[in-house]
Amino acid sequence: MTELPPAPDLELRLVRYFIAVAEQRHFGRAAEALHITQPSLSRQVRRLEEQLGARLLDRTPQGTRLTEAGEVFLPRAKALLRSTAQAAAETRAAAEPSRLTVGYMANLYVTPAVREVRRRHPDADVHVVHLAYDDVRAALLERRADAVVGRLPFPTAELDVTVLYDEPRLLLVPLDHRLAGKESVTLDDIADEPLPQTPGADPAWSAFWRIDPRPDGRPAPGGPVIRALEDKFEFVADGQAVAITAGLQPGQTIRPDIMAIPLHGVEPSHVALATRSGEHNRLLSAFRKAARTLLKAPAEQTEELPYGS
């Protein structure tokens, strides 16, 4: 095996100081942001340059600029700090954790499982955070959440995913729509109805919620472009589109001018629990167990007693 040359003993504090100067392009502004004096900051950066054996920054009348060596070192310095932070976070997670953050999508409820974890681990700090439909994987990998309950499809690379339950999909229409009041509808009923479009959305997510293409291979009709969930409801209420959703009971309303009708003949929505691949600790294990036991489709939800003893 090829031996690597000995690495310099870099102080992460000095690396952080260098990044601040490189981003501010000015020692004075960087010193102010770091809450240290400018002479002290200059000395610390010189120490880093001595450890590396290369000059990283040049002072100019306009401020400070990176040397060629500095340009090479800057992205590596940022990667070094990110790697160190991730290593520390993973190490803490592998120990006995005292904090758990649970993410959830709109119109999904994690309260029963969260309350059960708090009951079983009163010493734990358990938080919940609402996430956008397209933020599940990023929130987990960036460690903004430790477990997420969301609706598939979403990107699952580097995640462990378990389906908790299924929800029938429904059609949202305005109260004066020709289909309003029907007991159920099929894709044939909405063959020519426009459905909202979300530019930049995950293609699998968009295809699932627009049922695009249709079973016969035809593309789903286009529709108004939306940027937020509220936009979709506004377009539906205004009669400019219909929309496909889940998590509601037939006839249940999201707002007074919209109604939900069961959509038959289509695959149901899958509500799933996602965590980082291979990650195990006492709080995650407790939440996984509670989620599998207590989180159910709205039609199945009843008053639950805590599981186990």
pLDDT in tens, 166-179: 999 999 999 999 99
| pLDDT confidence tier of residue 250, bands split at 50, 70 and 90 | confident
Please check the confidence at residue 304 and state whether its pLDDT lies above 50.
no
Residue 8 and residue 137: Cα distance in Å, rounded? 36
Q: State residue 61's pLDDT score.
A: 81
The SS3 of residue 287 is helix
**Is 80 exceeded by the pLDDT of residue 92?**
no
pLDDT of residue 93: 62
What pLDDT does 226 receive?
87
Query: Does residue 8 have a pLDDT over 80?
Result: no
Q: Average pLDDT, whole number, for the chain? A: 88
Backbone angles phi, psi at 48, to 5 degrees: -65, -45
- The residue-averaged pLDDT of 78-98 equals 77
pLDDT over 70 (residue 83): yes
* Residue 200 pLDDT greater than 90, yes or no: no
**Helix, strand, coil fractions of the chain, as percent rounded to 5:** 40, 20, 45
d(CA 149, CA 166): 13
Q: In what order do the strands lie in the sheet with 258-262?
A: 243-246, 169-174, 258-262
* Whether the bond into 153 is cis, omega within 30 of 0: yes
Task: Please give the average per-residue pLDDT across 126-138, as a whole number.
Answer: 93
Task: Give the distance, in angstroms, between the CA of residue 159 and the centroid of all CA atoms in the same chain.
Answer: 12
Residue 155 phi/psi, 5-degree rounding, is -60, 135
H or E stretch at 37 = none
Asked if residues 158 and 142 have their Cβ atoms less than 8 Å apart, the reply is no
- Does residue 112 come out as left (phi exceeding 0), alpha (psi in the -120 to 50 range) or beta? alpha
